[in-house]
Amino acid sequence: MTETSRERPGEGLTVALFATCISDTMFPKTPQATVEVLERMGCRVVFPREQTCCGQIFTNTGYFDDAIPSVRTYVKAFGDYDYIVGPSGSCVGSVREQHPMLAERSKDAGLQRAATAVASRTLDVSEFIVDVLGVTDVGAYFPHRVTYHPTCHSMRVTKVGDRPYQLLKAVRGLELLELPEATQCCGFGGTFSLKNPDVSVSMAADKARNAASTGAEYLVAGDNACLMNIGGMLSRQKSAMTPIHLVEILAHTEGKRR
Amino acid sequence: MTAKPRLTPAPPPGELIDSPRFPVAARRELGNTAQRRNLRLATHTIRDKRANAVGEMENWEQLREAGGAIKNRVLRHLPEYLEQLEESLTRNGATVHWARDAAEANRIVIALVQETGSQEVVKVKSMATQEIDLNEALEESGIAAWETDLAELIVQLGHDRPSHILVPAIHRNRSEVREIFLEEMGRYGTPAPPGLDDNPTNLANAARGHLREKFLRAKVAISGANFAVADTGSLVVVESEGNGRMCLTLPETLISVVGIEKVLPSFDDLEVFMQLLPRSSTAERMNPYTSVWSGASEGDGPQNVHVVLVDNGRTNALADPHGRQALRCIRCSACMNICPVFEKVGGHAYGSVYPGPIGAILNPQIRGTDSAVDRSLPFASSLCGACTEVCPVQIPIAELLVHMRGKVVDAKKAESKGVHMPHAEPAMMKAGGWVMGDHRRLEAAQLAAKAGGGVLGRFTDHIGPLPWPLSKWTNTRDVPNPPTKTFRDWWNVNRADQVEK
Ligand code: SF4
């Protein structure tokens, strides 16, 4: 057995789950899968229920003042935890890169200190598994052809690097197909998709076409918003490809599916 | 008023600042299928080449850091460096002029040309002169300005506007270029050879033939500068075709229009920028022609040398310590080449000579946020961040896009103070911000979504057409129904025993 398949590397660690508002509301299977994987690794997972949202919908639309309540809520919900883990490169990236700026704007020195500290303890689930738990094989089994879309914010804001690929490569039965023009944006961009719908759709169509060209059964990513965008295009194009969050693949084990 | 006969091909009518909002212009440009194909091919080719050219450099990240740091120093001490530049240039025999805005810069240049008695000028490709719309100002004063860069020539002869800062005719393919040459060259000088085909070499030769007489005849040249070196009083032009070298050496009079942010402290700094710029822009290890001149040298090249230093809104940007990072830009164009939005719509949609990601953050700073187009530009991005990754002077473009969105929103809010009809968006954002301020409000909102999902779910697996503004989404993409149970519900049932902390 290699070192990376150590059974329960999370023993003794408490992880606060940052479900993200979009997954909490629209894609509950993703945070559920996060809980399953982390518990399987031996972690104790808690869900601070005061949590709401990272606030980036407001921040990225230019409404900084309206994002500040989200920062306060985030600090209140997660202030006491050493590890805060979320299944979204984008929401985690927003917490890490935008909360300090927003807190500064609030002119509340206490919030500023707290937000900066909490932000630095917030990790994407792929970072937590690979860096903190020190494993890439989480005992998953997923006998399917998949292709992976590295979402822009996971790649360029949160900078998860090749961790998702490492995790996918360790999944038994999984065949990973290369996505052409992988690093090109899917065109979602939050309110961009509403403010510039024509450009957004054209970008999503490119992404969906590239994904379909791989012949994969599943399109994997670490952000449900992007998956919803590309998935919406695939569904409209009557494609058989299914969007799925990375962590849902990691939660899937042989012979035991919830 | 009767129209004067034109000396040079007329560009499209109207001022760029009056362009429509980006989404409207983008829709117009997206409808141009041929242009989309040209853009896609051109951007993807140059992207890959740039990646290779940059990939060869082991110290690329250090170079970017150095480039950013030098430019930051310039911006912190701009007045000092500009004074030093003026001093050195003057010592070298050049005359320095200062222009607050486009109108003043144009007036200065026109007066300088008129002094020479010449009624035409040859031009080195220059963004600063595009920015101040110098060619049209000259035309109105009875002076013909001839663009000599191949792509600028194509644009000028095509009665068109540049759509890219480095490859102004990126939106054109060679058969279009052939048609333009055959149709227009003869009206403004040496005609294209009659049987001209669309072979690139033959097209370039036609341009050479057309330009030759203009180069040899010209008494005055107008250039910009990529860099203005403060300690030695030197200007630098980086180019590929040699047309710049011709303009910079043949005529008697040379007038260079230079943005005040182009100053570099010392000649040694060129070491950094001459590694960063060619690889980032044309993806070459080194560009074919780099011209450096320090004032006038007796018996060699232009004897009457002028430098017009232009502000034109740059000090507005300088006043914002965060936003001014955009002034580090060395106009390499890497950000627009990598941009998935630019790739779709091209440069004309941005309503400025500075398109793409840099245009989206620079224009609203130097022109302000009063016009419809400038207000829309910071939103002309999915915030994918590809631009930030390639920028050779480490401008955090994505972050500045968000910063500028904040400024646009603040400006709109200030305007609507006391007005009783709030726009839908601020009201939605405010309500949303309030909901996210307390989990109980979020849970209440989720309850409503679930109820909707529960009803819809009986009929279909995705939501049907939604009302505006969400219709912009559902018109083209499906949206899954909200599930009937949120994650919170699941947690309450399955982990009810789990205590926090
Ligand atoms: S912003 Fe950066 S990448 Fe874009 S043109 Fe300027 S220097 Fe080049």
CB contacts of A156 in chain B (<8 Å) are 384-386, 388-389, 398
In whole angstroms, what is the distance from residue B374 CA to residue B361 CA?
Answer: 9
Query: Which atom of ligand 1 is nearest to B333's Cα?
Result: 5
Of A25, A27, A231, the CB nearest to B446: A25
Q: Is B456 exposed, middle or buried (0-12, 13-18, 19+ CB in 10 A)?
A: middle
* Shortest CA gap A104–chain B (Å): 13
Ligand 1 centroid to residue B392 C-alpha, Å: 7
Residue B501 within any structural domain of the chain: no
Give B-chain residues touching A52 at CB under 8 angstroms: 435-439, 442
**Within-domain flag for A106:** yes
User: Per-residue pLDDT for B276 more than 90?
Assistant: yes
CA B199 to chain CA mean position, Å: 29
pLDDT averaged over chain B?
Answer: 93
Q: Which of B165, B393, B400, B401 to mutate to test the pocket of ligand 1 (most atoms within 8 A of CB)?
A: B393
Determine what percent of chain A is predicted with pLDDT higher than 90: 92
- Give yes or no: residues B287 and B359 share one domain: no
Count of CB atoms situated within 10 Å of the CB of B96: 18
B280, B314, B348 — which closes off a domain?
Answer: B314
The pLDDT of residue A5: 44
Q: Are residues A179 and A63 in the same domain?
A: no
A195–B379 C-beta distance less than 8 A: yes
| Same structural domain, A28 and A120 | yes
**DSSP character for B119?**
S
Q: Which of B286, B314, B342 is the last residue of a domain?
A: B314
CA of B472 vs chain A CAs: smallest distance (Å)? 6
Give the whole-angstrom CA distance, residue B237 versus residue B192. Answer: 29
- Say yes or no for a CB contact (<8 Å) between A63 and B430: yes
Residue B126 covered by a domain: yes
Considering the domain architecture, whether residues A8 and A128 belong to the same structural domain is answered as yes
Question: What region, left, alpha or beta, does residue B331 occupy, with left being phi > 0 and alpha being psi -120 to 50 degrees?
Answer: left
Same domain, B64 and B95: no
* Rounded percentage of chain A residues whose pLDDT exceeds 70: 97
Q: Which tens digits make up the pLDDT trace of B150-174?
A: 999 999 999 999 999 998 888 899 9
Q: Could you identify the residue written with the tokens 């995705």?
A: B462
Query: Of B16 and A258, which is predicted with more confidence?
Result: B16
Confidence of residue A3 (pLDDT cuts 50, 70, 90): very low
B456 pLDDT higher than 60: no
| Rg of chain B on CA atoms, in Å | 26
User: Is the domain of B6 the same as that of B44?
Assistant: yes
Which chain A residue has its CA at the smallest distance from B389's CA?
A156
How many domains, chain B? 3
Alpha-carbon span B490 to A33, nearest angstrom? 12
Beta bridge partners of B236: B227, B292
Residue A221 and residue A124 in one domain: no
B94 and B171 belong to one structural domain = yes
How many angstroms separate the CA of residue B131 from the nearest CA in chain A?
26
Is B375 in contact with B369 (CB distance < 8 Å)? Answer: yes
pLDDT band for position B469 (cuts 50, 70, 90): low
Protein residue with least CA distance to atom 6, ligand 1: B329
What is the CB < 6 Å shell around ligand 1? B 280, 329-335, 358, 390-393, 395
Backbone torsions φ then ψ of A72, nearest 5 degrees: -60, -45
Confirm if A18 and A78 have CB atoms less than 8 A apart. Answer: yes
Phi/psi for B29 (5° steps) reads -70, -35
Residues B90 and B212 in one domain: yes
In a shared domain, residues A20 and A117: yes
Ligand 1 centroid – CA B356 distance (Å): 10
Q: Mind listing the pLDDT tens digit for each residue in A49-76?
A: 999 999 999 999 999 999 999 999 999 9
Do B82 and B66 lie in one domain? The reply is no
Q: What is the rounded distance in angstroms from the CA atom of residue B122 to the CA atom of residue B21?
A: 34
The answer to the question of residue A232 being in a domain is yes
Start-to-end Cα distance in chain B: 80
Q: Which long-range contacts (CB under 8 A, 24 or more apart) does B142-145 make?
A: B142/B7, B143/B7, B143/B110, B143/B113, B143/B114, B143/B118, B143/B119, B144/B7, B144/B8, B144/B119, B144/B120, B145/B8, B145/B120, B145/B121, B145/B222
The residue with tokens 């150095």 is B66
Contact B446 A184 (CB under 8 A): no
Check residue B418 and give its pLDDT: 66
- B459 lies in a domain? yes
Please report the number of interchain residue pairs, chain A to chain B, with beta-carbon separation below 8 angstroms. Answer: 207
In the predicted structure, residue B454 carries a pLDDT above the cut 70: no
Q: What CATH number is associated with residue A237?
A: 3.40.50
B437–A57 CB contact, under 8 Å = no
pLDDT of residue B424: 80
Task: Check A63 against B438: CB less than 8 A apart.
Answer: no
Does the pLDDT of residue B458 top 70, yes or no?
Answer: no
How close is the Cα of B157 to the center of ligand 1, in Å? 28
Distance CA B222, CA B122 (A): 6
DSSP designation for B192: P
Domain hosting B14: range is 1-70+323-421
Mutate which of A35, A52, A72, A186 to disrupt the B interface (most B C-beta within 10 Å)? A52
Q: Look at strands B479-480 and B462-463 and give their pairing.
A: antiparallel
CB contact under 8 A, B436 and A21: yes
B128 and B225, same domain (yes or no): yes
The CA B205 to ligand 1 mean position distance, Å, reads 31
pLDDT at A256: 58
Task: Tell me, yes or no, whether A153 lies in a domain.
Answer: yes
What integer pLDDT is reported at residue B426 of this predicted model? 86
How would you list the strands of the sheet with A14-17, edge to edge?
A: A44-46, A14-17, A83-86, A122-124
Domain annotation covers residue A171: yes
Please check whether residues B78 and B205 belong to one and the same domain.
yes
Structural domain includes residue B363: yes
pLDDT digits (tens, 9 = 90+) for B103-153: 999 999 999 999 999 999 999 999 999 999 999 999 999 999 999 999 999
Report the separation in Å between the CA atom of B264 and the middle of ligand 1, taken as the mean of its atom positions: 17
In a domain, B500, yes or no: no
Ligand 1 atom closest to residue B357's alpha carbon, by position in its atom list? 4
Residues A50 and A110 in one domain: yes
Nearest CA to ligand 1 atom 7: B329
How confident is residue B477, by pLDDT bands cut at 50, 70 and 90? confident
Q: Is residue B48 part of a domain?
A: yes
Q: State the nearest Cα–Cα gap between A209 and chain B, in angstroms.
A: 14
What's this model's pTM, rounded to 2 decimal places? 0.94
Q: Which of B421, B441, B469 is the last residue of a domain?
A: B421
d(CA B171, CA B155): 10
Domain end call among A132, A158, A188: A132
Instruction: Calculate Rg over the CA atoms of chain A.
Output: 18
Task: State the distance from the centre of ligand 1 to the C-alpha of B316, rounded, in angstroms.
Answer: 19
Nearest ligand 1 atom to alpha carbon B165: 5
Q: Are residues A64 and A91 in the same domain?
A: yes
| Among candidate residues A132, A156, A173, the one where a domain is terminated | A132
Is A257 inside a domain boundary? no
**Residue B87 and residue B178 in one domain:** yes
- Is it true that the peptide bond before A69 is cis, omega within 30 degrees of 0? no
A65 and A15, same domain (yes or no) = yes
Joined together, the tokens standing for residue B396 give: 């955090």
Beta bridge partners of A14: A44
Find the Cα–Cα–Cα–Cα dihedral B200, B202, B205, B207, rounded to 10°: -70
Q: How many angstroms does the Cα of residue A177 sit away from the middle of ligand 1?
A: 34
Contacts of B340 in chain A (CB under 8 A): 184-185, 187, 203
- Return d(Cα B335, Cα B386) in angstroms, integer: 7
- Kindly state whether residue A118 falls inside one of the protein's structural domains: yes
The answer to whether residues B148 and B253 belong to one domain is yes
Q: Which domain holds residue A97?
A: 3-132
A71 and A182 inside one domain? no
Question: CB-CB: which of A25, A57, A203 is closest to B449?
Answer: A25
Centroid of ligand 1 to alpha carbon of B162 (angstroms): 17
The verdict on ipTM greater than 0.85 is yes
* Amino acid residing at B195: G
| pLDDT band per the 50, 70, 90 thresholds, residue B372 | very high
Cβ atoms of B122 and B105 within 8 Å: the answer is: no
Structural domains in chain A (count):
2
Ligand 1, atom 4, residue with closest C-alpha? B335
Q: Which two tokens stand for residue B306?
A: 């002028």
Residue A2 predicted with pLDDT over 70: no
> Do residue A26 and residue A114 come from a single domain?
yes
Backbone φ, ψ for residue A141 (5° rounding): -135, 125
CATH of the domain at A127: 1.20.1050
Do residue A202 and residue A118 come from a single domain?
Answer: no
Output the pLDDT for position A4. 42
Residues of B in contact with A50 (CB under 8 A): 439
Q: Does residue B146 contact residue B121 with C-beta atoms inside 8 Å?
A: yes
In testing the pocket of ligand 1, which one of B65, B166, B332 has its CB within 8 Å of the most ligand atoms?
A: B332
* pLDDT digit string, tens, across residues B341-370: 999 999 999 999 999 999 999 999 999 999
Cα B65 to the center of its chain, rounded Å: 22
Is the same domain home to B11 and B33? yes
**With contacts defined as CB-CB under 8 Å, which chain B residues touch A201?**
476-477
The CATH number of residue B412's host domain is 1.10.1060
B351 and B257 in a common domain: no
Instruction: Work out the number of other CB atoms within 10 angstroms of the CB of residue B484.
Output: 15
Question: Which pLDDT band holds residue B257 (cuts at 50, 70, 90)?
Answer: very high
The verdict on a CB contact (< 8 Å) between B433 and A67 is yes
Same domain for A57 and A173, yes or no, is no
Contact A63 B477 (CB under 8 A): no
